Structure 1
Amino acid sequence: MASLVQRIASQAARTFRNTKNPATFQQQLIKLKELTRTLTADDINFDVDLVRDTSKFNPESGEAPFTYIGLWEDKIFSMGVFVLRSHTSLPIHDHPDMFGMVKVLNGSVNVKSFSKVVNNDGTDLPKDEVMSSTDRVLHRVHLHGTQKIGTSDGVCVLDPLNGNFHEVSTGETPGAFFDILSPPYDHGIRRNGPRICRYYCEIDPAYDHDKNLRYLMEIPQPSWLWGEHAPYRGPSIQSDDSDSSDD
């Protein structure tokens, strides 16, 4: 029988190979979510040495705040594991036109998510909004709040519209999470621009009646944010060349 991580990879390929049929896509997405929910650190032979250092991350130290383990990447999706040091974060960033899943494998992480507020004309800033005159890119978003996710919790899912802007952070202890993204990030030129990760700072418009309304202003990638790489030592993962029919 195929390993669990291979079955997840095969299901991810079936799920994201064709997203144009909403009913079929949702059925396949539910299957993928259920498979991913059962994944544990042991299933990918996770190296626990990566989470032994519980010291608080210091941005001035020159050390990497996270380690990344790449499991798989093709044109359809990518799979990997992020290991975050204690008291650090992947700052607010976006996943343009992408779907994503997060399953915690060790410790816990806090996920703070936002969704873009879209007007009837497809824009996301009021025409009379003073802040729109800035030379920085702004997005008007709805804050969903912060959710603490541990190993016994389910899968956190985002899509191109819901929760697409988010921050992942840790507290007193490190946290490791399995991550699926589809399509993966790229640096190619597309009609809507490249699928690259952009970073933001949060602006709270205290004058507004909606306490969950925020503005996210695009900023350069923080200088302290960089990652080390560790090898994947789990079961081998093969390409799934089967068709996209339901099974």
Structure 2
Amino acid sequence: MGIETVAPNRKSSKEFLALAEETNSKSKTRKGRRRQRKMSPVQKLYETCKEVFSFCGAGVIPPAEDIQRLSSVLDAMEPADVGLTPDLPYFRMTVARRTPVITYLHLYECKKFSMGIFCLPPSGVLPLHNHPGMTVFSKLLFGTMHIKSYDWVVGAPEKTLASANPSLVAPPGVHLAKVKVDADFTAPCKTSILYPADGGNMHCFTAVTACAVLDVLGPPYSDPDGRHCQYYLDYPFSRFPDGGVSVPEDEKEGYAWLEDIEKPEDLAVDGAKYRGPEIQEN
């Protein structure tokens, strides 16, 4: 007759299973922590954008807490995080062209959002343009840039009043806008945010010095979806005094007339390969 011998520390199958699950969970947690520690700033930006814009679309603004979260990620970013230094060729003045060439570095784009960097040499200009249905985050990485932005004046008359002098009446395609921002910004500074109908949806960038701006658009431009980039020419409010709008004298500098125009012929934006830390799509 045999005698069954049981080791004092022998575990049952259930105990072994529980121990294995606990060990596996701890291992995953450690790997997750290591991954977070190793995640590059640009990868963190990508991951945050995926979450913030996951349920957004044209005209849909992310919740306030998500706006703040994405802004905080951008606020912390520096030129080295995307492989940029001010001595790169993109930021040098050239004598071959009267209008400086702007370089665009494409980081990522999907239906929900896009990420890219505009590199402007001194005096480089991104002319006045709009962002239809978009929420836009712009982070100045280095340099000094002048930003002028506008929002449409809601309720301004579509048709102007009759006038004895037609040249004083805003023609078709010219609409009233209110100045939102008109100032110089020098890095490091907070991320600027514009919304589909507020915050300066139409803006112009002028490089005071060589500078780089990281742009996040949600959603991105899309001609098939009606999100076309429209350019504008701005006139002072006094240009069309018979425009059917009454503005106090001391406030007139805060308004302008914007005219739809085709893409400026002298605007040159060249694409270049992004050479910063790789973005791992998932």
Q: TM-score normalised to the size of structure 2? A: 0.73
Distance 1:52 1:183, change over 3 A: closer
SS in structure 1 at match of 2:143: strand
Q: Cα RMSD between the aligned structures?
A: 2.4
Q: Which residue matches 1:224?
A: 266
Work out whether residues 18 and 25 of structure 1, in 8 Å CA contact, stay in contact via their aligned partners in 2: no
| Segment drifting more, 65-74 vs 209-218 | 209-218
Work out whether residues 104 and 118 of structure 2, in 8 Å CA contact, stay in contact via their aligned partners in 1: yes
Q: Which residue matches 2:101?
A: 65
Once the two structures are TM-superposed, the CA of residue 129 in structure 1 deviates from its matched residue by: 4.5
Work out whether residues 91 and 121 of structure 2, in 8 Å CA contact, stay in contact via their aligned partners in 1: no
- Identify the match of residue 89 of structure 2 among 36, 47, 50: 50
Count of equivalent residues: 226
Q: Distance in 2 between matches of 1:91 and 1:129?
A: 30
Structure 2, unmatched stretches of 5+, are 1-37, 163-167, 242-246
Distance 1:128 1:24, change over 3 A: closer
Structure 1, unmatched stretches of 5+, are 241-247
Q: Distance in 1 between matches of 2:42 and 2:65?
A: 19
SS in structure 2 at match of 1:100: strand
Q: Which residue matches 1:110?
A: 146
Tell me the amino acid that sits aligned with residue 15 of structure 1.
V
Tell me the amino acid that sits aligned with residue 233 of structure 1.
R
Listed one character per residue, the Cα deviations across residues 205-237 of structure 1 (whole Å, up to 9, x for unaligned) are 224434112110011111110211221111221
Q: Distance in 2 between matches of 1:6 and 1:231?
A: 17
| Segment drifting more, 139-148 vs 196-205 | 139-148
2:236 equivalent to 1:204: yes
Counting aligned pairs with the same residue, the percent is 27
How do 1:122-141 and structure 2 match up within 5 A?
Answer: 124-129=156-161, 134-135=171-172, 137-141=173-177
Distance 1:52 1:196, change over 3 A: closer
Work out whether residues 160 and 170 of structure 2, in 8 Å CA contact, stay in contact via their aligned partners in 1: no
Q: Which residue matches 1:26?
A: 64
Q: Which residue matches 2:256?
A: 214
2:182 equivalent to 1:146: yes
Work out whether residues 113 and 164 of structure 1, in 8 Å CA contact, stay in contact via their aligned partners in 2: yes
2:47 equivalent to 1:10: yes
Work out whether residues 138 and 214 of structure 2, in 8 Å CA contact, stay in contact via their aligned partners in 1: yes
Listed one character per residue, the Cα deviations across residues 31-61 of structure 1 (whole Å, up to 9, x for unaligned) are 00001001001011115313552x3x67x82
Tell me the amino acid that sits aligned with residue 228 of structure 2.
I
Distance 1:112 1:63, change over 3 A: closer
Once the two structures are TM-superposed, the CA of residue 110 in structure 1 deviates from its matched residue by: 1.1
Tell me the amino acid that sits aligned with residue 239 of structure 1.
E
Work out whether residues 113 and 165 of structure 1, in 8 Å CA contact, stay in contact via their aligned partners in 2: yes
Work out whether residues 50 and 83 of structure 1, in 8 Å CA contact, stay in contact via their aligned partners in 2: no
Distance 1:129 1:76, change over 3 A: farther
Q: Distance in 1 between matches of 2:147 and 2:141?
A: 15
SS in structure 2 at match of 1:233: coil
SS in structure 2 at match of 1:61: coil
SS in structure 1 at match of 2:68: helix
Structure number with the higher helix fraction is 2
Structure of higher CA gyration radius: 2
Q: Distance in 2 between matches of 1:62 and 1:41?
A: 27
Once the two structures are TM-superposed, the CA of residue 133 in structure 1 deviates from its matched residue by: 7.1
Q: TM-score normalised to the size of structure 1? A: 0.82
Once the two structures are TM-superposed, the CA of residue 80 in structure 1 deviates from its matched residue by: 0.6
